[in-house]
Chains A and B, each alone.
Chain A
Amino acid sequence: MALRWTRILGAGAAVVAVGVAAAWFLTKPAPLPEDSWAGLGEPDLARGETLFWVGGCAGCHAAKGATGDAVKVMSGGLPLTSPFGTFHVPNISSDPNAGIGAWTLAEFGNAMLRGVGKGGEHLYPSFPYTSYARMSPEDVNNLFGYMKTLPASSNVAPPHELGFPYNIRATLGGWKFLFFNSEPWVDLASADEKLQRGQFLVEGPGHCGECHTPRNALGGLEAGQWLAGGPNPEGEGRIPNITPGSRSVGSWSEGDLVNYFQTGFTPDYDSVGGSMVEVQKNLSHLSQGDLEAIAAYLKAVPERQ
C-alpha cells in the first residue's frame, strides 16, 4: 500500500515536473535569432519616421500634454491606468542611461517584435508589441534609426504599481502563449499592393485593433469581432465600430476617412474626440498614399454590426 502511494506520488511529481518544464518552455521569453538583425544596412529614416507616427509612440512615451516639438521627447512617465494597476511608461529617448540610447538593434527589436525586454524579461502588453510584432526586422531597423535622431531626456519613470499576481512578469508567459502571435487578423484574398500596405499599417504599427476590437475575459482580442468596437476598456463610453457594418463610418467614403485622419472632422463636421484625438494627430503626419491605404483596408475588412 505504502509502496503504491509512493509510486503514484512519484509519477504525479514526474508529470508535474514535465508539465512545469513544458510550461516554462512554452512560455519563456523568446527573442528572435541573433542573425535576424544582421545585414540590414543603413536605416531609411523617412520610413522610420512614418512608423514612429503611425505607431503612436509619442502618445504614450512623451510627457503628458506635450505639444509642438516636445512630442518628440520620449521621456516617459505617463501613467496608464488599467484594471491590473498603473503602468508608468518608461523613457525610450536616445539618452544612454535613462533611455534606450545604449541599446543594440537586437535588444530594441526583441522588445518591438517579441515583447522581450533588455534583461530578457517579458514585457507587459500595455506596450502594444502584440501588434508591432507584424513589422519586419527591416522596419525595426528603420524605426530604431529614426528614434536615435530624437532628443535625449534624463527623466526616470517610477516603477509600475500592479497588484499580485500581475506584478510577476513570468505570469505574462502564459498570456503571451494564448494571445500573442504575428499572424494576419483578416484574410484578404485578392489584396493588391495598396490593400496590403493598409493591412500592414492597421494590423501592425497602427495597432488600431488594440482599441477598436473587443477583448475576452482574459484580455485577448476577439478574432471574430475584428475592429467591431465595444466598451472602452480604459473607462466610460464606447469605442466605435470601424468595419463597413458600422452605423457611423459604414457610410463614409474612403475620401471621408482620409479627410478625418488629416483634419479630425467627420463628413458632418463633427470633431474627433477621446483617445482618438491623439491617434488622429499622429496620423496627420502620414502621406496621402498611406492614409488612402488605411481607408481602403477599412473598407475591405469583414462587416460587423
Chain B
Amino acid sequence: MRLKSTVVIGAVLGCLSFSSAFAQEEPQSARQAQMKVVGQSMKELGAIAKGEKPYDGAAVKAALEGVSTSMKAFPDQFPAGTETGMETEAAPAIWEKTDDFRAKSDKLAAEADTLLASVPADQAGVGAAMKALGATCGDCHETYRLKR
C-alpha cells in the first residue's frame, strides 16, 4: 500500500520532470499536469485523513513534495499567448493581476513546505494538513480558473 502510493506520486512527478525536459511542451499542458499532481496528492492525503487508507509517512511526504514542486513551477507556465488553447481553464484575470496570482501560488507552495518541515505524524495531523492546503485551492480557483 505504502509502496504503491509513493510510486504513483513518484511516477507522476517523474513524468513531470521528464516532460519539462522537452522544451517544446506547451505551457498549457505543463500547468494542467502540475495541477493534476496537486489534485492527485490531495487525493492521497484525503484518503488517509478519512481513514480509507492507513497512515503512511512516506506517502504523506511524497504527496506534500508533489504539491510543493508543482506549485513552485506553476506560475511560470502562463506566458503571453497561452491565454487560450489546449482546453485551458485559466481565467483572463491571471494576466491582469499577475502579482496576486503568483502570491496565491506561492502561498500553497509555502504551506506545503511548512508541512514538509515536520511531516504530519498521524491521521489527525493529515486531516489538519488537508484543511491548511485545501483553503488555498478555492481561494485561487474563485478568481483565476474558469470552467468553459
- Which residues of A approach B to under 8 Å, CB–CB? 236-240, 263-265, 268-275, 277-278, 280-281
Contacts and interface: CB of A to CB of B under 8 A. Distances in A.
Given A237-B146, A237-B148, A238-B148, A274 B141 contact: yes
Interface in B29-80: 39-40, 42-43, 46
Interface residues of B, number: 17
A273 B142 contact: yes
A280 B46 CA distance: 18
Given A236-B92, A236-B146, A240-B147, A269 B46 contact: yes
13 contacts: A237-B146, A237-B148, A238-B148, A264-B134, A265-B134, A269-B39, A271-B39, A272-B141, A273-B142, A274-B141, A274-B145, A275-B142, A280-B138
A277 B147 contact: no
Contact of B134 (A240, A263, A273, A281): A263
B94 interface: no
B111 to A, nearest CB: 14
A113 B147 CA distance: 33
Nearest to B50: A259
Interface string B85-110: 00000011000000000000000000
Contact of A273 (B39, B40, B43, B147): B147
A237 B141 CA distance: 13
A265 B142 contact: no
B147 A238 contact: yes
Contacts of B142: 273-275, 277-278
Contact of A270 (B39, B92, B139, B148): B39
Given A236-B91, A268-B43, A269-B43, A274 B137 contact: no
A237 B147 contact: yes
A273 B138 contact: yes
A237 B139 CA distance: 18
A274 B134 contact: no
A277 B146 contact: no
Nearest to A235: B146
B137 A271 contact: yes
Nearest to B131: A263
A277 B39 CA distance: 17
Contacts of B139: 277
Nearest to A67: B139
A280 to B, nearest CB: 7
Given A273-B147, A274-B147, A277-B141, 14 more contacts: A237-B146, A238-B147, A264-B138, A265-B134, A265-B137, A268-B39, A269-B39, A269-B43, A273-B145, A273-B146, A274-B141, A274-B145, A274-B146, A280-B138
